[in-house]
Amino acid sequence: MSAIKDPLFAARYAAFLVSAHADFDSAAVRLPRPWDIKGCRSVKKPWRPVIDAALSHSAEPDGLILEFGVFKGDSIRHMAARHPKARLHGFDSFQGFPEDARRDWEQDFSVPALPEVPDNVTLHQGFFDQTLPPFVAAWNGMRPPLALVHIDCDIFSSTHTVLTTLEPYLRAGDILVFDELMNYTEFAANEFLALYLFLERTGLDFDWLVTWGRAYPLAETEGRMLDVAFDGYRAAGYFQNQSIRLKPRRPGGHFDGPGASSALIERIRRALTGVPAI
């Protein structure tokens, strides 16, 4: 994403990230850290409790659930079992990442066959830019009740496609769950960047709805991230999957900045522009 290399854009984005991270502890639901429960540090991603808590706060719990990034179907089967009256749609190429995926993420997410899913789940095979536009076009401008959008896209381009396509239908009060939003070395160039661009375009902002663990201290480290893998972040209490609720943009929100000094914002901007280009 070339925009992050632009100094003015990167400065705005840096201020937004600092504000969002500073506000992390204000979440409506702060789930406990795993070692507070088990007496040990966990490197497992707590996707079940985050999704369950997010859905429990949905105004339309039996409405439409959309998942982007199905893989073997674990999370969509879990949601379908918990909400048997809901209608779920899972989108995935089932062939792995698109060609523009980050070269430093050499992971194979292809599957030999489509996963087995319950009757209230429909799978849409293909890349998002092929399958999602005709799906939402069938709504004819009338959005059905929406319970939750689960974004497990990992990379910027896929997340950007999802949010751009859904943009006319997403509104204040909608709940989004992200599987790789934050708390890893390249986070600022992936799902969080796509979220920021969506919010910037739409005039929306967000509240943290369900959080697990803590936010990496972006301001204190001036944007420098740990040189460890996902497991290293989670072992230190920094988890990637979190849930947000969209809200109207108002004075005092994340776009107004956290009151950080311009020097701090500039240092974070410089760190951000050092993120490998997508």
- Quick check: 180 and 246 in contact, CB under 8 A? no
Q: How confident is residue 132, by pLDDT bands cut at 50, 70 and 90?
A: very high
Residue 25 maps to a domain = yes
Who wins on pLDDT, 258 or 140?
A: 140
> How does pLDDT run across 91-123, given as a tens digit for each residue?
998 876 665 555 555 566 556 678 899 999 999
Measure the CA–CA gap between 214 and 71, rounded to whole angstroms. 27
Judge whether 278 lies within some domain: no
Give the least confident one: 216-225, 227-236, 254-263. 254-263
The answer to whether position 129 is within a domain reads yes
- The C-alpha angle with vertex 124 and arms to 120 and 128, in degrees rounded to 5, equals 135
Residue 266 or residue 184, greater confidence: 184
With vertex at residue 157, the alpha carbon angle to CA 144 and CA 152, rounded to the nearest 5 degrees, is 60
Residue (of 93, 67, 69) closest to 176 by Cα position: 67
Q: Is residue 6 part of a domain?
A: yes
- Tokens for 72, please give them: 């073997």
What's the CATH number where 214 sits?
3.40.50.150
For residue 202, being part of any structural domain is answered with yes
Q: Is residue 141 part of a domain?
A: yes
pLDDT in tens, 163-197: 999 999 999 999 999 999 999 998 999 999 999 99
> How many domains is the chain partitioned into structurally?
1
Please state, in angstroms and rounded to a whole number, the distance separating the CA atoms of residues 99 and 172: 33
pLDDT digits (tens, 9 = 90+) for 25-76: 999 999 876 555 454 466 888 999 999 999 999 999 999 999 999 988 999 9
Domain limits for position 119: 2-272
User: Global pTM?
Assistant: 0.91
In the chain, what percentage of residues exceed pLDDT 90?
Answer: 65
Cα gap 53→118, rounded to integer Å: 22
**CA gyration radius, the chain:** 18
In a domain, 93, yes or no: yes
Does the structure show a pLDDT above 60 at 156? yes
Confidence tier at 162 by pLDDT (50, 70, 90): very high
**Domain contains 277:** no
